[in-house]
Amino acid sequence: MKKILLAIALSSWIASPVLASDIGGYVTGMFGMNSEQNLNTAMSYGVLAGYKFQPAISAEVGYVTLANNANLIIAQQGAVGSTSASISGYEIAGVYDYPLANQISIFGRAGYAKMNIIVNGNGGSTSAAESGLLLGAGVKYMLSNSYSVQAGLNSYYLSNNSGSDNPINLYLSGTYNF
């Protein structure tokens, strides 16, 4: 009987760190390339903080810059002008992880984004706030229980009273689980 109790205690002690790594907080840093119909391809970057409630389900919130002083394509001339645009803001999303193998999984993201768009030109600047749906997907590789790398794509469906924008962000990211 003592051997059985000892085996149960030992197995639960060994399994605890493995189970604990499946649930908890994490922080993600990302960088990538953004494509939007009126902009030349622009560098993007951001930081996300999240919490994994179950091994496959988490929620995250973050600040993302999709473009920073990127050249704006002038529609009338069909060429790059001296006008630039910046797109940055907040996002909140739910994430679902689906494991494919021991260290590889695919994930899907769905949420809400609110972005500020600032256009700077020769005559001054103008700004607008746009918000809408965020959808994304990608692949994740676990380097260890604490570190992973991801490659993904986010699509933003933003709109306001004057129109809509649909930036697409292709990114690489690194995550630290704590």
Rg (CA), the chain: 21
* Residue 177: how many other CB atoms lie within 10 Å: 20
- Supply the DSSP symbol for 41: -
What pLDDT was estimated at residue 94? 98
In a domain, residue 91? The reply is yes
CATH of the domain at 146: 2.40.160.20
Distances (CA, A) of 126 to 7, 9, 53, 72: 68, 64, 41, 13
Residue 11, in any domain of the structure = no
Residue 140 lies inside a defined structural domain of this protein:
yes
Look at the chain and report how many structural domains it folds into.
1
Domain that holds residue 77: 23-177
Decide if 152 is inside a domain: yes
Say what the pLDDT of residue 106 is: 97
C-alpha 100 chain-centroid distance: 20
How far apart (Å, rounded) are the C-alpha atoms in residues 153 and 147?
Answer: 20
pTM: 0.78
The one-digit pLDDT tens for each residue of the chain (178 residues) are 555 444 444 444 444 344 445 789 999 999 999 887 667 678 899 999 999 999 899 999 999 998 887 776 655 444 445 677 888 999 999 999 999 998 999 999 999 999 998 888 777 788 889 999 999 999 999 999 899 999 999 999 988 766 667 889 999 999 999 9
Q: Is 5 inside a domain boundary?
A: no
CA 77/CA 69 separation, integer angstroms: 20
Please, which residues bridge with residue 168 across strands? 35, 155
